[in-house]
Structure 1
């Protein structure tokens, strides 16, 4: 019996300096996440001052701000989705960590190392230095990135470099806050990938005959698919940026958003699925082991079966009915086929579809808004018989 002490409850998102501030402000109340309250608070902080300050500056500035699709998409779609997605992803990852032990993929002898890796991931999650560097990077990226196009609500004069009060708020707080949340998600993803890397080096007890055809690791692709809301949030920001560039004549190619969104979908699928490839070496070894063992077992069983039923005098009819050898032969054949079909990569079609669909979802909105695309659809419809 495994009498080891219980492992710490791993939570990818519930930790770090920002989480501590949210708890003190009662935006988080464990075990509840209160993600809706947090999302509303961040939206009020990042977006609400913009129209208030722009309206106080001038009526034209307020009208110009309301025409900014990129700003509203970032602050009212991307930012809250990044926050609301936290408890959803967190629960899926907690379930995945428990599953390693619940189905005994990690044996008692490796439990200590599993716990060491888990505590290491928790320390990285809680690292104040990591979040401080992320905060610095959020501002550094703002200085290094291409300057924002001159807007009536953002700068005092067209083409000038002196921000209005609304411009200051957006450049000094709203935009860095959004970058911080994005980079924080990227860091947490690296922490989780690092944990999977270390676990993939443990001697896992993979079963070649497991019905998921992944040795019992079929829960991991489903877990990775939980990052789909994060992918959607990033895709919405990219779509708004490309749409704004087209609107202001920066991009002149037809359907300029099509290629960036497709590239984003491919990169998102690769980033989310890449950690699953860490388990391929163990899947290969388990499949080879299963092939040899089941081949030997099937051969021995087949010889005994033929010797009893085909190389002796014909059996009586009553001996054939209900004979256990036929059932065992069928069961062995099913197990042999399962072992042969075992995948060498943790691939799940539904999980991949979820990630790619989340990345391409904003593309559907852009296609609906694009007049050229609607014109093409109209011509195709008119050309149909």
Structure 2
């Protein structure tokens, strides 16, 4: 089967109602910096009108807006990251999908089903109904979210009743846009997880002696870690919201900041790497088959080696003896098979997801002017 013909257009990003609308509105051809420009344009569209409308409302409205750290974190950090990370995440997932075929992990009798599963995932990606439902849910979440007039006076009109122009823009454009993009990434994660679930049910040619100690699936945890920018975006918003609830600062109450981000990190690890559990049954069966066949093979090889070298009469020339290399090779293969993980995971991938969830703490430390103090504390503790 031709790899490029099968998955040349596989993508979880390049599809859907919003993507097609962007394609129709775009006059110039795409270029390499397009994701960055799109992120900047959307961020400006969501945030700049809030500033301009607040200027109309006077100095008090502007001061109130700039005290709203959560809004700035959403629209100036999280929102651009959700858009700018699309090519990176899409590229890693496309590589993972192609790697199943490139590494011959799918048996010949499952290739047709694999291709059908890939096209099914892209059909779900292109669903207009799903995007309309996500947009409706984004508006519903925005309308039911309570607004504290005492701290969000920039959203209120001059008489304190009703919404100001900035408040209406925030209610109808900025907040629904951020929530829609976040929900769309959640949907893309569901589509990708469903694709992995269907792949895990195909006849796979797993190799227990593979050096990645995951039977050849070591590329999957790395691909899953590509969702780290999405995790970072959500963690930034949570950290900003915590700073609003705990205005005394990180240094005054560090537990109040650490616990929500720790919960985000734990939840992100569970959600990002949960699809790896789909492959556990096949990994268990592959390891059982390998153990059943490899142990007698290793025993016969070792017995023949001992008979030749320990009971074979006169001393032989050790230098360059092929039996020595053969013994080392089978020993390495046997060790890899015994150490094969039944749940595919990678330490660096795990650290990437956890680090993305905890990264906003560094931003808060800098804003709280405690970053150098924390570094000094760590340095003194290591001395």
TM-score w.r.t. structure 1 length? 0.91
Count the aligned residue pairs. Answer: 379
Counterpart-to-counterpart distance in 1, 2:133 and 2:319: 73
Match of 2:155 in 1: 154
Mapped partners of 1:382, 1:79: distance in 2: 38
Please report how far the alpha carbon of residue 143 of structure 1 lies from its aligned counterpart in structure 2 after TM superposition.
Answer: 2.5
Note the 1:1-385 alignment, pairs <5 A: 2=1, 6-8=5-7, 9-26=9-26, 29=29, 34-150=34-150, 151-156=152-157, 160=160, 162-247=162-247, 255-312=255-312, 314-318=313-317, 320-370=318-368
The structure-2 alpha-carbon separation of the partners of 1:61 and 1:339, relative to structure 1 and needing over 3 Å to count, comes to: same
**1:12–1:188 Cα contact (<8 Å) kept:** yes
Change (3 A) 1:91 1:142: same
Task: Give a deviation string over 1:250-269, Cα, whole Å, max 9, x none.
Answer: xx966411110111111111
Deviation at 1:323, TM superposition (A): 2.7
How far, CA to CA, are the matches of 1:5 and 1:253 in structure 2?
54
Gaps of 5+ in 1: none
Go from structure 1 to structure 2 and tell me whether the alpha carbon gap of 1:44 and 1:265 turns closer, same or farther (over 3 Å shift).
same
Say if 1:231 and 1:145 are closer, same or farther in 2 by CA, change over 3 A.
same
* RMSD of aligned Cα (Å): 2.7
Distance 2:111 2:6 in 1: 9
In the superposition, relative to structure 1, how do residues 65 and 31 fare at CA in structure 2: closer, same or farther (>3 Å)? closer
When normalised by structure 2's length, the TM-score is: 0.91
Unaligned runs of 5+ in 2: none
Deviations 1:87-137 (A, max 9, x none): 000000111011000010012211100011111101100000000000000
Taking a change above 3 Å as real, the CA distance of residues 3 and 223 of structure 1, as seen in their structure-2 partners, is closer
Q: 1:24 to 1:142 in 2, by over 3 A?
A: same
Tell me: CA distance 1:339–1:31, structure 2 relative to 1, closer, same or farther (3 Å). Answer: farther
Q: Distance between the aligned counterparts of 1:315 and 1:58, measured in 2?
A: 100
Shift of 1:4: 8.7
Contact 1:155 1:167 in 2 (8 A): yes
Q: Secondary structure at the match of 1:227?
A: helix
